[in-house]
Structure 1
Amino acid sequence: MANLIRRAGRLPLSGKIGLALVLFWIVVAVIGPWIAPYPPGSFVNQEVFAGSSSAYWLGSDFLGRDVLSRLLSGARFTVGLSAIAVAIAASIGTGLALTAAVGPRWLDELLSRAMDTLISIPSKIFALVLVAAFGSSLVLLTTIIAITYVPGNFRIARSLAVGLAKLDYVEVARARGEGRLHLALVEVLPNMIKPLFADIGLRFVFIVLLLSGLSFLGLGLQPPDADLGSLVRENTSGLAEGALAIIAPAVAIASLTVGVNLLIDAATQGKAE
């Protein structure tokens, strides 16, 4: 813990801002529903698109529901689903990349060509087609978004793994009879963790934007559940009025993605230096 605090203290100002934003949204995702002043689906105000007040800090939405309560609840879905999806994508992509790096040449070619085929399909179109075909339940939506970003993670992880697999210490391990599983998990994987973390952070941002985009189009989470993208979509009629009901979730999405980007940039620059 002390080591993490020291590293955070050495971050540049942009990195500290990014870290603060990321930690803020993690805390909101964890405890948000418990600190919400009203149940997210309750109609608590007779005035729609009401402005900020002492009773409703972020006003009310198009049905008179408390925007702050819905924002605190929606952040859990956006952050939680994106984190789970990026973990699945990174696990599958990195696992396949390690298999390709230490496996026979034909397997590397097979996996690489398969991933090249998938990555040639635009991610948003691919996700839209799958969601439209199979539905948008929590499990299916998370799985579909994760599969969408497996090829990109595979390409980054494979390029790292193939380079490491040719180094002398891996050849020595291979010469002393170590199996492919040992080579992949003990010799190669630990030395590609740091670059992978930067890629995982970027993919988290892409997934947040993809999930929000799907929800905005009505193909994401379905009522009564709502993520930040859903909150923007359902309150578009208040855009002309500049209602907080549409501004607040849009700012939330922007601050989350900008925070992650700032943190990744600062951490990467720090490693380079």
Structure 2
Amino acid sequence: MTRPSLPLVPLLMGVMLVVFLLLPTLVILLHGLSGGFFPALLQPVVLDALKVSLVTTTITLLLTVGLGTPIAYLLARYRFRGKILLDTLLDLPIVLPPVVAGVGLLLTFGRNGLLGPALTLAGISIAFSPAAVVLAQLFTSAPFFIRASKGGFLAIDRDIEAAARVDGASNGQVFRFITWPLAFPFLLEGMVLAWARALGEFGATILFAGSLQGRTQTITLSIYAALESDLKPALVLSAVMVVVAFTMLGVVRRITARRSRGES
């Protein structure tokens, strides 16, 4: 049995789209990884941006897992009034422009924002600080983890958990030894997606946290700033982002493939 041949015109149009999507990425790698990569990578502005991004995204990921897992479990396992509304609101940051998210965070946690006076009285200043970077990343990335985790909890056969309870396991033991391990591939996928989204955050961060080298200037903000002065650090950081993004996507694909093989 022969495979049907693809129509020529749609095939050519598809090839044009593939070239369009891949060519800019390849150009970034070509220029960013060319001669002078390591000297540019060791420049203070580049190292500061890498350090700020690594520290803030790690904290963001820990907060996302710690705060997002209970919410995902709640949405997956319980029925309550307003569940659909809550689920929709938690997904809103995914489609909300990051700049709008930054405005919302500034109006909420800024000095003159909704919680600003109370935070000032407590001696806490969030806007334009590393904490603001974390909050901006958390706002834009946490929904990706919640969505993936919710899917993981929904995919678990409830009979397995029920059998463990019949054998005398407590709810905590069931979650620790049954629910969490079975849902972990989904949670891991959500972690990767959330971390990658936090790493690439720009709009909310620049509005809410500013771009202070060594404090709030992440990789994306450093690329934007370097474009106005020295192009080489911007190219190096862009190449690093491409490599990291490709690696993260590869990890997600492998997780998804292993999960599919395990279900089949």
TM-score bracket for the superposition, by shorter chain length = 0.5 to 0.7
- The normalised TM-score by structure 2 is 0.64
Q: Which amino acid aligns with 1:105?
A: R
Offset at residue 163 of structure 1 (A): 3.3
Retained in 2: the 8 A contact 1:101–1:162? Answer: yes
Retained in 2: the 8 A contact 1:131–1:141? Answer: no
In 1: Cα distance, 2:159 partner to 2:135 partner: 38
Aligned pair partner of 1:128 in 95, 102, 109: 102
Retained in 2: the 8 A contact 1:126–1:148? Answer: no
Aligned pair partner of 1:74 in 49, 63, 69: 49
Retained in 1: the 8 A contact 2:142–2:194? Answer: no
Cα distance per residue 1:193-250 (max 9 Å; x no partner): 122212211221111111x4445668444245332223222222247xxx31322222
Partner of 2:223: 232
In 2: Cα distance, 1:214 partner to 1:260 partner: 22
Q: Which segment drifts farther, 66-75 or 225-234?
A: 66-75
Offset at residue 176 of structure 1 (A): 5.4
- The normalised TM-score by structure 1 is 0.62
Partner of 1:222: 212
Describe the SS at the equivalent of 2:59.
Answer: helix
Partner of 1:190: 181
Partner of 2:240: 252
Describe the SS at the equivalent of 2:190.
Answer: helix
Retained in 1: the 8 A contact 2:71–2:146? Answer: yes
Partner of 1:138: 130
In 2: Cα distance, 1:223 partner to 1:77 partner: 9
In 2: Cα distance, 1:100 partner to 1:157 partner: 10
1:151/1:237 Cα in 2 relative to 1: closer, same or farther (>3 Å)?
closer
Q: Which amino acid aligns with 2:53?
A: T
Task: Please list every run of 5 or more consecutive structure 2 residues that lacks an aligned counterpart in the other structure.
Answer: 1-34, 110-126
1:83/1:117 Cα in 2 relative to 1: closer, same or farther (>3 Å)?
same
Task: Please list every run of 5 or more consecutive structure 1 residues that lacks an aligned counterpart in the other structure.
Answer: 1-51, 59-65
Alignment of 1:20-169 (within 5 A): 57-58=39-40, 68-102=43-77, 104-106=78-80, 110-121=82-93, 122=96, 124-125=98-99, 127-133=101-107, 134=109, 135-164=127-156, 166-169=157-160
Describe the SS at the equivalent of 1:57.
Answer: helix
Q: Which amino acid aligns with 2:56?
A: L
Offset at residue 85 of structure 1 (A): 1.0
In 2: Cα distance, 1:115 partner to 1:81 partner: 26
1:175/1:201 Cα in 2 relative to 1: closer, same or farther (>3 Å)?
same
Retained in 2: the 8 A contact 1:131–1:219? Answer: no
1:115/1:141 Cα in 2 relative to 1: closer, same or farther (>3 Å)?
farther
Offset at residue 177 of structure 1 (A): 6.2
Partner of 2:16: none
Cα distance per residue 1:95-154 (max 9 Å; x no partner): 22224445x532xx5455313123134162453124433323112321342143333322
Retained in 2: the 8 A contact 1:90–1:200? Answer: yes
In 2: Cα distance, 1:176 partner to 1:271 partner: 27
1:110/1:174 Cα in 2 relative to 1: closer, same or farther (>3 Å)?
farther
Offset at residue 192 of structure 1 (A): 0.7
In 1: Cα distance, 2:141 partner to 2:182 partner: 22
In 2: Cα distance, 1:228 partner to 1:127 partner: 19
1:105/1:215 Cα in 2 relative to 1: closer, same or farther (>3 Å)?
closer
